[in-house]
Amino acid sequence: MKKIVIEGGAKLQGSINISGSKNSSLPILAATLLIDEKIILNNVPNVKDILTMVSLLETLGKKIKIKNNTLEITSTNKPSYFAQYELVKTMRAGILVIGPLLAKFNMAKVSLPGGCAIGARPVDIHLDFLSKIGYENKVVKGYVVSKKKFSKNKISFFFKKISVGATETAILSSCLSSKEVKLINIAIEPEVIDLINFLNRSGTNIKFIAKRSLIIKGVKNLRGLKYQIMPDRIEAGTYMVASAITNSPLILKNISVVHLKNIINIFKKIGLNIKILSDRSLKVLPGRLKSIRIKTVPYPGFPTDMQAQLMSLLIFAKGISEIKEDIFENRFLHVLELQRMGAKIEIKNNKAKIIGIDYLSGAQVMATDLRASVCLVLAGLVAHGKTEINRIYHLERGYENLVKKLKNCGAKIKIINVR
Ligand code: EPZ
């Protein structure tokens, strides 16, 4: 097992290069199942979830060469429509292969991803859509077994809840078909838009008809292509907090400022001075932190994936702040660990009340999910003394070279192996 050890109090300086987006790479990798010709993906982050998705695609008939952050994807002559539990259980985005498999084979057997620390994370909306477009979906021994029952050429579907994954499943299962599908009340996260851009570049016909509605005119086949994955906006937001929490100016490079508008506005509200240097870079200049009341909502609102990181920062904001987690039912697991470091946080249902204090004390803490882990790293950067973070495999799922990037900016942080 490995753990991260941080000596708190070091100031940061310099700049950090932001990697490609994990949550854009995963649906785009699933989309490669729709395309037989060669695909080159650039700016793919080298993180565990990507390697798991690559292994899953290789069991489904893809051949994938990885060179640094570039993936070359070609097709073997051994396709399969069976996505096994061992690979899907650790990476929930495995469910995203069901749409392409059904589009290609009219059948699929995909392991249910199972819940995770932040909530049950059901896939009922994914399956509602697949039933609507003509597939019969049964859950048998932990697998979704789907097969074509009927065909309809014109379909309209309203999402009862805004869901990133279900929107991606609807798009992935409709673009290689003879259908015309209208989707209403879709998620419009930049990662969903990146998937749409990728598919349209490959030959699909997906057009927005309103802010949260689009029409997909299915096509017969898709062309191979070269594509650059968008920058990871959540990684960028995370390092903006690292700059603010250590009261050090930091420059972020290789970002997409337009995707960070909502995060930048909130950080300005709590007192940070954010200088836009170009549409691909910004500088965070710390300021006196002010408390805030905020809730997590679908894009373009404040993202749930930044909730834990913001909480670690609000610990030092004067006054009382409040965060309402409106997306997931159990995304406050990091609070217990922050309290071990001396944070004054009270939880009532899906609301966290954070009372501003002057300092945290380093402690032994435990990571529980990807974003909770990074919030503990952020707290450790500024806590008095040493913080040790266990179960850092959560971090390795979604942050490329996190320790190296922080160390290069002056943080006293290292990974050690423990028995
Ligand atoms: C994606 O998860 C992201 N993961 C999550 O990031 C992110 O937190 C989430 O979107 C919200 O932005 C990837 O893109 C790989 P949802 P997803 O479907 O698609 C409920 C991270 O840290 N729901 O938008 O699973 C669901 O339970 C991860 O990088 C249903 O009820 O999220 C949740 O309450 C964590 N039925 C809400 O909708 C369904 O069929 C939003 O979930 C699907 C979802």
For the chain, the distance separating the N- and C-terminal CA atoms, rounded to the nearest angstrom, is 6
Q: What is the pLDDT of residue 205?
A: 95
pLDDT at residue 316 greater than cutoff 90: yes
Q: Give yes or no for residue 218 CB within 6 A of ligand 1.
A: no
User: Cα of 122 to ligand 1 centre, how many Å?
Assistant: 9
- Tell me the average pLDDT of the chain: 96
Per-residue pLDDT band at 276 (split at 50, 70, 90)? very high
User: Cα of 117 to ligand 1 centre, how many Å?
Assistant: 13
Q: Give yes or no for residue 370 CB within 6 A of ligand 1.
A: yes
Using an 8 Å Cβ cutoff, are 212 and 186 in contact? yes
- 288-311 pLDDT, tens digit per residue, is 999 999 999 999 999 999 999 999
- 37-67 pLDDT, tens digit per residue, is 999 999 999 999 999 999 999 999 999 999 9
Indicate which residue's Cα is closest to atom 43 of ligand 1. Answer: 123
User: Cα of 213 to ligand 1 centre, how many Å?
Assistant: 19
DSSP assignments along 154-208, one per residue:
EEEEE-SS--HHHHHHHHHHHSSSS-EEEEES----HHHHHHHHHHHHHT-EEEE
Q: Which of 116, 175, 375, 409 is catalytic?
A: 116
Q: Quick one: average pLDDT of 367-394? A: 94
Q: What is the pLDDT of residue 113?
A: 86
- The Cα 130–Cα 411 span in angstroms is 48
Q: What is the pLDDT of residue 211?
A: 98
User: Cα of 40 to ligand 1 centre, how many Å?
Assistant: 27
Indicate which residue's Cα is closest to atom 25 of ligand 1. Answer: 165
Using an 8 Å Cβ cutoff, are 152 and 119 in contact? no
- 319-369 pLDDT, tens digit per residue, is 999 999 999 998 999 999 999 999 999 999 999 999 999 999 999 999 888
User: Atom of ligand 1 at shortest distance to CA of 370?
Assistant: 22
Indicate which residue's Cα is closest to atom 13 of ligand 1. Answer: 23
User: Residue 231, preceding bond cis, omega within 30 degrees?
Assistant: no
pLDDT at residue 378 greater than cutoff 90: yes
Q: What is the pLDDT of residue 272?
A: 94
Q: Give yes or no for residue 188 CB within 6 A of ligand 1.
A: no
- 13-38 pLDDT, tens digit per residue, is 999 999 999 999 999 999 999 999 99
Say if pTM beats, i.e. exceeds, 0.85. Answer: yes
Q: What is the pLDDT of residue 115?
A: 65
Q: What is the pLDDT of residue 48?
A: 94
Q: What is the pLDDT of residue 96?
A: 97
Q: What is the pLDDT of residue 117?
A: 79
Indicate which residue's Cα is closest to atom 26 of ligand 1. Answer: 121
Ligand 1 pocket: which of 121, 125, 212, 333 to mutate (most atoms within 8 A of CB): 121
Distances (CA, A) of 51 to 214, 239, 274, 334: 31, 23, 34, 26
User: Cα of 106 to ligand 1 centre, how many Å?
Assistant: 25
- The Cα 15–Cα 259 span in angstroms is 19
376: left (phi over 0), alpha (psi -120 to 50) or beta: alpha
Counting residues of the chain whose pLDDT is more than 90, the rounded percentage is 90
DSSP assignments along 331-398, one per residue:
--HHHHHHHHTT-EEEEETTEEEEE--S--B--EEE--SHHHHHHHHHHHHHSBSEEEEE-THHHHTT
- The Cα 252–Cα 76 span in angstroms is 40
Whether 116 is catalytic:
yes
- 176-207 pLDDT, tens digit per residue, is 988 899 999 999 999 999 999 999 999 999 99
Longest dimension (CA), the chain: 64
Indicate which residue's Cα is closest to atom 18 of ligand 1. Answer: 163
Q: What is the pLDDT of residue 230?
A: 98
Q: Give yes or no for residue 164 CB within 6 A of ligand 1.
A: yes
pLDDT at residue 7 greater than cutoff 80: yes
Indicate which residue's Cα is closest to atom 8 of ligand 1. Answer: 305
Ligand 1 pocket: which of 21, 22, 23, 334 to mutate (most atoms within 8 A of CB): 23
- 88-127 pLDDT, tens digit per residue, is 888 889 999 999 999 999 999 999 987 677 888 899 999 9
